[in-house]
Amino acid sequence: MSHKQDTVMKFQYTAEFAQSLDAADTLASYRDRFLFPQHQGISVLYFTGNSLGLQPKGVKEAFVDECDDWATYGVEGHFLARKPWYSYHERFAAGAAKLVGAKEEEVVMMNQLTVNLNLLLVSFYRPQGKRRKILFEAKPFPSDQYAFASQARLHGFEPEDVLVELLPREGEYNLRKEDILETIQRLGDELALVCFGGVNYFTGQLFPMQDIAAAAHAAGVMCGFDLAHAAGNVPLELHDWNVDFACWCTYKYLNSGPGSVGGVFVHERHVTNPDIFRLAGWWGHNKSTRFQMGPVFDPIPTAESWSMSNAPVFNMIAHEVSLGIFSEVGMHALREKSIQLTAYLDFVLQTVMDKTGQRLTRITPDDPQQRGCQLSVIVEGYDRKLVEVLYKQGVVVDWREPDVIRLAPVPLYNSFEDVYRLGKVLETVFSR
């Protein structure tokens, strides 16, 4: 841990100080837009928005509305429902584009994260000659590594021959930007794809996406990102960063419910190129001729051409409610609060360590520009039973083997007082 603070303010470990920060917080009222699980009649201290976000108020009513329209119209609900199902996915284009810094024609909501990643890899991992390798960060979310390996096998390669997992330097937990860029340059014409997580799920490191994309393109390589832990967490400018493709889920920071719809970004230079191979389905076909049911695929000149099936309406309802909140608040305002809230959590954890003697090692970068609103901490001497102990105290955190808790102070609904109260619970537990 570190005593370094990311704001000019000198933090204090008191309830009064935390409450004063909440009183000055212009986003504090958004906390009331979410439903908190209860523990002994009191809202839990919820620090796992990086695994599953809280339910926004209004979601249940939105589901009831769609059920009513289904009951009223049956199949005709595709065109007669209050939010016609035929074009339901189109309702998300503006909000999704704003969220990830894209043009509306570059985004589409469809399927789920790893399905979308595999669909995009089919298009953008096109090994030729000695260009076979896929470069990615150490310890990515396992599903990504499985997808890379399966795509390698699809092309007749052994994964160990083409997958390059970039490790931090010995004794370090995070990758250095210069090492990422040097590796891309060094591998050069052996690379077929660079695909990183925008924010690493385990360490919480925020990668320099614009620099990575530029280095990949300089090496003649496509570049994509898994934004599962970045979308709704940090500001993104995918179009301006010249990213080739990206995908994300919506159930973490985007608060859209378990297994909710995924998102896809494909840069405009690719969406207008019909020669880029994509697995075809009727929902990606030219809308004006879709119902002529012709045998030849005519891709829509937008990211929608990667969609294969009609919109999973009931898997998208909650996302519309949540996306409306994000469009209202804006990522830059959330980021401003996130930096201060995460810095306060860092300060509180350091104070708890000083008061109790418990050894805590943060593996998330110290620099706020290299992290989002997650701190991953090695808790020496504890196993996953720590999560159970904390849950009995009304605290919900996430455990990752062998000895890491991940804490996500989400700026939409977590307060500074939440962070202070977490510290007091940890202080009690570690003092036993």
Q: Angle at the Cα of 220 (from 216 to 223), degrees rounded to 5?
A: 40
Amino acid identity of residue 218, one-letter, is A
Read off the tokens for 192.
Answer: 């077929």
Other C-beta atoms lying within 10 Å of the C-beta of residue 356: 16
Say yes or no to pLDDT of 8 above 60.
no
* Chain position carrying tokens 């039973």: 385
* Chain position carrying tokens 């841990």: 1
Q: Is 103 exposed, middle or buried (0-12, 13-18, 19+ CB in 10 A)?
A: middle
Tell me what pLDDT residue 1 has.
58
Q: What is the C-alpha separation between 87 and 162, in angstroms, rounded?
A: 40
Q: Which CATH number fits domain 62-328: 2.102.10.10, 3.40.50.720, 2.30.110.10, 3.40.640.10?
A: 3.40.640.10
Tell me what pLDDT residue 3 has.
45
* Chain position carrying tokens 């919109």: 311
Rounded mean pLDDT, 305-318:
95
Q: Maximum Cα–Cα distance for the chain, whole Å?
A: 72
Coarse DSSP helix, strand, coil percentages of the chain, rounded to the nearest 5 percent: 45, 15, 40
Q: What is the C-alpha separation between 301 and 311, in angstroms, rounded?
A: 18
The domain locations on the chain are 15-56+331-430, 62-328
Q: Is 283 helix (H, G, I), strand (E, B) or coil?
A: helix
Q: What is the C-alpha separation between 166 and 62, in angstroms, rounded?
A: 44
Residues 371, 204: contact at Cβ < 8 Å?
Answer: yes
Backbone φ/ψ region at 156: left (φ over 0), alpha (ψ -120 to 50), beta: left
CATH topology of domain 15-56+331-430: Aspartate Aminotransferase, domain 1 (3.90.1150)
Sign of CA dihedral 171, 177, 183, 184: positive
Tell me what pLDDT residue 432 has.
79
Strand 55-56 versus strand 191-197 pairing type: unpaired
pLDDT per position as a tens digit, 396-406: 999 999 999 99
Q: What is the C-alpha separation between 281 and 283, in angstroms, rounded?
A: 6
pLDDT per position as a tens digit, 246-287: 999 999 999 999 999 999 999 999 999 988 999 999 999 999
Residues 373, 229: contact at Cβ < 8 Å?
Answer: no
The predicted model scores a pTM of: 0.95
Backbone φ/ψ region at 32: left (φ over 0), alpha (ψ -120 to 50), beta: alpha
Residue 9: which pLDDT band, with cuts at 50, 70 and 90?
A: confident
Strand 107-110 versus strand 262-266 pairing type: antiparallel
Closest by CA position to 399, among listed 386, 381, 418, 380: 386
Close Cβ partners of 79 (under 8 Å, ≥ 6 residues apart): 86
Q: What is the mean pLDDT of the chain?
A: 96
| Residue 137 main-chain phi, psi, to 5 deg | -80, 160
Residue 351: C-alpha distances to residues 2, 3, 13, 359 (Å): 10, 9, 8, 11
pLDDT per position as a tens digit, 134-160: 999 999 999 999 999 999 999 999 999
